[in-house]
Amino acid sequence: MAKRALVTGITGQDGAYLSQFLLEKGYEVHGVIRRSSHRGVEDHRLRWLGVADRVHLHDGDLADLSSLLRTVKDVQPDEIYNLAAQSFVASSWRQPLLTANVTAIGVTNMLEAMRIGAPGARFYQASSSEMYGLIQEPMQSETTPFYPRSPYAVAKLYGHWITVNYRESFGLHASSGILFNHESPLRGVEFVTRKVTRTVAAIKLGQAQELRLGNIDAKRDWGHARDYVEGMWRMLQQEKPDDYVVATGVTTTVRDMCKIAFAHAGLDMDKHLIIDPAFFRPAEVDVLLGDSSKARKALGWKPEIDLETMIKEMLDADLERLRREPLS
């Protein structure tokens, strides 16, 4: 029989790519989806990848243990991927309690649902490089101390450690992937990479004139979500659960990422890029650079898509979208 996977956050970037990956592996894929008045719209990423009709969606919410427990008992998954979160760092200062309830406590709810309803399943927790925050080492590995710099990062750190605790307390096969920034054409428009590619596409098509950003000297380790979801899957195929950093090991400034996008569009960046103080964070994470040597050795994982290829793919996708549906 086909393995069954249950994915929270299935309609997000990672959830969509993971669903596609698992379906290609022959899995039966189930997803938890929040009740919304926009039903039929929120699965656009699954439709973009052509898999929306091949996944089974269940109403549920990370803040509601009863719905999670009911879904876990109904699906009886072999693997659970907890990807759902309030995942936009900037919003976490404006919505700190929501972020805590979903991104932190929601992990405990999902682990409890698994412990009670499917204790033999294997669990993946989406941890984040934002947990390193004010970096304590030049390259961040599984042993680097954490220093979160946003309510989002604090919530993610709770989710990370509660996963470790349930693994050690109850013997669950529960692993965390400390994923560094990963992007794609399916990234939300509020994230800087997609904001850049979408705005550059709009400028190219005459639908916008300027790109406003904050700290363009911040450095990030950017990879492609398609590569990173394979890392998630590889973690759950291991005999013993563990935690792994997933990263490219290459850091790039926001400024240089912008240069790639503007150059691909044939535009002069200096004529359109404006630094706007409104987009600076209350507490900035200046540099992130991941050491994924453990994942490369233990999991046989490595990134395949470089930053330039990814940004060009994202820009081409945004040009296609905006030609069909111009900015109003």
> In angstroms, how far apart are the furthest CA atoms of the chain?
58
User: If we measure between CA atoms, which residue out of 89, 87, 130 comes closest to residue 281?
Assistant: 89
Catalytic residue among 87, 92, 128, 129: 128
What are the tokens at 124?
């993946």
Query: Hey, what are 79's tokens?
Result: 């693997």
What are the two backbone dihedrals, phi and then psi, of residue 271, each rounded to the nearest 5 degrees? Answer: -85, -15
CA angle 147, 152, 157 (to 5 degrees): 50
CB of 183 closer than 8 Å to CB of 310: yes
Instruction: Judge whether 17 counts as a catalytic residue.
Output: no
152 has catalytic annotation:
yes
**Is 292 among the residues known to form the active site?**
no
Catalytic residue among 152, 166, 228, 244: 152
Burial of 211 (0-12, 13-18, 19+ CB in 10 A): buried
Find the catalytic residue in 79, 130, 183, 313: 130
Task: For residue 179, list its beta bridge partners.
Answer: 128, 246
Angle at 322 between CA 319 and CA 328, to 5 degrees: 150
Which ranges of 25-150 would DSSP assign to H, the alpha helix? 44-48, 65-75, 89-94, 96-99, 106-117
d(CA 49, CA 206): 28
Instruction: Give the β-pairing of 56-59 and 28-33.
Output: parallel
* Side chain identity, residue 313: E
Structure tokens at 306: 């470089």
Catalytically annotated residues:
128, 130, 152
